[in-house]
Amino acid sequence: METSKPNEDWNNPTQAPQQENKKVLAGVMGILFGGFGVHKFILGYTNEGLIQIGITVVTCGAGSILGFIEGIIYLTKSDEEFYQTYQANKKAWF
């Protein structure tokens, strides 16, 4: 005789797929190698990364401060805010 199990789906929480958050990696790379646009490449912003390299070359390295500032901004945001702003909505600068 087969017994039927009561439906207990309400008791099994479903989790959304884990979001890949690149906040720490992009933040640290922005601080250390911001002038080379490494943080932009990590986030998938190839054109912006190339622009960052160009700015750094044209300004003889002074433009690397932009990458440093962006690295700090990345690390000060919450994980969810960073993900929504830079990975989901693709905000390229600041």
**Which pLDDT value is given to residue 16?**
44
Instruction: Domain of residue 35: give its range.
Output: 31-94
* DSSP H stretches of helix in 1-94: 23-33, 38-42, 46-58, 64-76, 79-82
Q: Is the pLDDT of residue 36 over 60?
A: yes
Distance CA 46, CA 62 (A): 21
Which residue has better confidence, 33 or 11? 33
Q: What is the mean pLDDT of residues 16-32?
A: 82
Whether 14 maps to a domain, the answer reads no
Whether 88 maps to a domain, the answer reads yes
- 44: tokens are 């998938």
Domain count, the chain: 1
Whether 19 maps to a domain, the answer reads no
Whether 23 maps to a domain, the answer reads no
Whether 85 maps to a domain, the answer reads yes
| Whole-structure pTM value | 0.74
Distance CA 83, CA 91 (A): 10
- Which residue carries 């986030």 as its tokens? 43
Q: What is the mean pLDDT of residues 61-75?
A: 94
